[in-house]
Amino acid sequence: MQVIPLRLPGALIGEDDPVPRVDSLLEARVDLGVELPERIHGTAATGQPRSLHPYLMQNRYSRERVDIDLDTVVLENEHLRAQFIPQLGGRLWSLTELDSGRELLYRNQVVQPANLALRNAWFAGGVEWNIATKGHSPHTCTPLHAAGVAGPDNVPTLRMWEFERLRGVVYQIDARLPPGARALHVYVRIRNPNDTAVPMYWWSNAAVPERPDVRVVAPATRAYATSYDGTVRSVPVPAHQSVDRTWPTRNTYAADFFFDLGRISRPWIAAVDGSGHGLGQASTARLLGRKLFCWGTGAGGRRWQRWLSPEGGEYLEIQAGLAATQYEHVEMAAGESWSWLEAYGDVAADPVVAHGAHWNAATDHVAARMDRLAAAEPMAAAYEQADAMADRPPGAMICRGSGWGALEREARATTGQGWVDEAGTPFPSDTVGVEQEGWRALLRDDGAAGAALRDAAPQTPPRSYVTGEPWQRLLAGCVESWARDYHLGVMAHAAGDLEAARARYSASVAQQPTAWALHGLAVVAGEENDPGAAAGLLASAVALAPDQPSLVHEAVAAALDAGDGAGALTLVDSASPGVRESGRVRLLEGRAALACGCHDRVAEVLTAGVEVPDLREGETSLSDLWLQLHPDQPVPPEYDFRMR
């Protein structure tokens, strides 16, 4: 195991947006067909979080790229080389077959964030480890704790771990390449230290190169297919609507295909190219779901591919998860620990058979090749070995994650709640940083926290947020202040208690008007279908914090929703220069000008060019604006992100 520097062009993500998002997730709702199994309807109906609170958004990036220096961890044996980036969610960035030099993953030439995740920022390439709920991991663009672990067989293991705050669980990823193995072994463990059950979610998403000669094979004859119109239907595999959908480039539009594998001891999926090679992924039985995602060959899909890979390259994804689909959560009982083993390697199939017209013959053949790569019995033995090592103490830290795990340990010790055995996944006390220091002071009841809340500068946004009844109780015991009541309002709001949230926000404003509490009141008003009140409150918030981009964005959008185009334009024109020239505000300016009938101004915006770095996946606001002004003209490619 080696730590090797990697320099890539990329856009810096920057600090988190300090404005909390407690009202809704960004994932679109789906319509599950009545023909889907009752168990899927049941598990899809439970566990959906109201928001990703207490995480903050990662939306402060651009399309301007600089050289980014990353520390990667490389594992290597006689057959494979695996390269991980602990600083970026532990992403498996490269998996190379040494004999041929063949890269099995899609390795992007840049790290270009885009708005595809629940925290906004996400980038394409490699294998991503997703926990908590649908919409990519909260940690996909943040560092994980990482260190090496010495096994009893002297094979080095890379361990990465973190505390996941939405579900309150600890997870770890142990990667190793045993001598002679033709597959990378990745052991995953999730532990629930809570005294209640939590809804759990995990999907490992592998990006592989997309070409016309690549076919995705999995042992299924039906799949649950999702399209961008929001419907999920059970469809036959491989052909649906007279098209063999297992060839990703034969799909015109972006789609998900969740293969119905049933309950098998060694689930698998593979992407097989014209030479018979490509990534095969297998696991022990707990990771039962398998999925194909493709962007489709339509204009919108190709635009998104270029947006995510500006230096060129196209990809598809093969994925593996805890449930049959990504719309489900699986209940994880109090105190439970779940673990499994995944294997990644070259499927090395016969392309004539794997690409043949007989689907059953293709799946039988690829299954046999997967047996050579990761047979059920050796996988079970490797899992037992990895599981026995899960609590082995790691060595020196390679990468440091957040301080939230260390704070959580201290909080649970204070309240008498259970916690995990940290032998294998330590959360050092010195990882507590500026985001956690104020909360630790509150735990220690040394008076500093109450004073800090009382004396908090109203023009400075809080650095971070917490959630849960113990924190609420501690805050309520502090001396009354605008900051105390604001945080209590955010907690109530995140829990969906709008009445309590409004009362706390109002109490905060009564003591000291701040942009943050006014924003909270505006969001409550919006949820209560009072767009006029929401717009007015957001305008007041912007007046107190004109340099906060997200407040300006929300205020202009709220004015438009309230039918006040002139007010929206006033907000645009009065924005600070740095905010005023951003792509999102330029887009909102065009919408506001259109609402006011200022067509020349709309044309000026569109002609000058509008690039919105955090354009949301599926968002069509650019093409909508163009067509509203030029209904008879084709949408320019740079504005066309339509998936249909």
In terms of Cα–Cα distance, which of 614, 616, 606 is closest to 638? Answer: 606
The pLDDT of residue 450: 78
Residues paired with 5 in a beta bridge? 71
- Asked if 315 and 446 sit in the same domain, the reply is no
Question: What's the rounded Cα separation, in Å, for the pair 625 and 604?
Answer: 12
How many CA atoms within 13 Å lie on the side-chain side of 136?
26
Q: Which residues of the chain fall short of a pLDDT of 50?
A: none
Answer yes or no: is 460 within a domain: yes
Sign of CA dihedral 455, 460, 464, 467: positive
Element spanning 588, H or E: helix 583-595
pLDDT score, position 385 = 96
Range 291-310 burial, b when 16+ CB lie within 10 A, else e: bbbbbbbbbbbebbbebbbb
For residue 110, what are the domain limits? 2-388
Outline where DSSP puts E strands in 178-248. Answer: 183-191, 198-200, 202-209, 215-217, 222-227, 231-236, 239-240, 243-244
- The distance from CA 361 to its chain's CA centroid, rounded to whole angstroms, is 36
Q: Domain total for the chain?
A: 3
| CATH number for the domain harbouring residue 606 | 1.25.40.10
Query: Looking at the domain assignment, is residue 502 inside a domain?
Result: no
Q: Do the domain assignments include residue 520?
A: yes
Residue 496 in domain: no
Residue 471's identity, in one-letter code, is W
Q: What are phi and psi of 607, to 5 degrees?
A: -70, -40
CATH, residue 204: 2.70.98.10
Q: Are residues 286 and 204 in the same domain?
A: yes
Q: Residue 44: phi, psi to the nearest 5? A: -80, -20
The whole-angstrom separation of Cα 59 and Cα 13 is: 7
Please report where in the chains the tokens 């995140």 appear, as a residue. Answer: 494
Q: How far apart are CA 368 and CA 68, in angstroms?
A: 42
Residue 108 to residue 466: CA distance in whole angstroms: 35
Q: Is residue 71 part of a domain?
A: yes
Q: Are residues 303 and 206 in the same domain?
A: yes
Q: Does residue 535 form part of some domain?
A: yes
Question: Tokens 């045993």 label which residue?
Answer: 178
96 occurs within a structural domain: yes
The answer on 370 and 221 residing in a single domain is yes
CA–CA separation, 323 and 518 (whole Å): 40
Mark whether 414 and 289 lie in a shared domain.
no
Q: Does 368 lie in the same domain as 410? A: no
For every residue of 208-227, DSSP letters joined together read EE--TT-EEE-S-SEEEEEE
Residues 202 and 333 in one domain: yes
Q: What is the pLDDT of residue 446?
A: 67
Element (H or E) spanning 280, and its range? strand 279-283
Q: Are residues 340 and 407 in the same domain?
A: no
Answering whether pTM is above 0.95, one says yes
Q: How many beta carbons lie within 10 A of that of residue 132, not counting itself?
A: 26
Q: Which helix (H) or strand (E) holds 316?
A: strand 315-321
Q: Are residues 382 and 410 in the same domain?
A: no
Sign of CA dihedral 123, 124, 130, 135: positive
- DSSP conformation class of 231: E
> Residue 398 and residue 71: Cα distance in Å, rounded?
9
Closest CA relative to residue 184, chosen from 95, 102, 267, 107: 95
Residue 161, classed as helix, strand or coil, is strand
CA distance 258 to 328: 12
Q: How far apart are the first and last CA of the chain?
A: 46
Mark whether 563 and 617 lie in a shared domain.
yes
Compute how many other C-beta atoms are within 10 angstroms of the C-beta atom of residue 442: 23
Rounded Cα distance, 393 and 429, in Å = 16
Pair 187, 135 in one domain: yes
Same domain, 91 and 124: yes
Angle CA 568–569–573, to nearest 5: 125
Q: What is the largest CA-CA distance in the chain?
A: 74
Round to whole Å and give the CA distance between 440 and 463.
Answer: 13
Does residue 493 sit within a domain?
no
Residue 65 CB neighbours (<10 A)? 16
pLDDT digits (tens, 9 = 90+) for 347-390: 999 999 999 999 999 999 999 999 999 999 999 999 999 999 99
> What tokens does 309 get?
């890979």
**How far apart, in whole angstroms, are the C-alpha atoms of residue 431 and residue 65?**
29
Q: At what angle do helices 583-595 and 565-574 cross, to 10 degrees?
A: 150
Report whether 555 contacts 541 (CB < 8 A).
Answer: yes
Helices (H) and strands (E) in the chain, counts: 19, 28
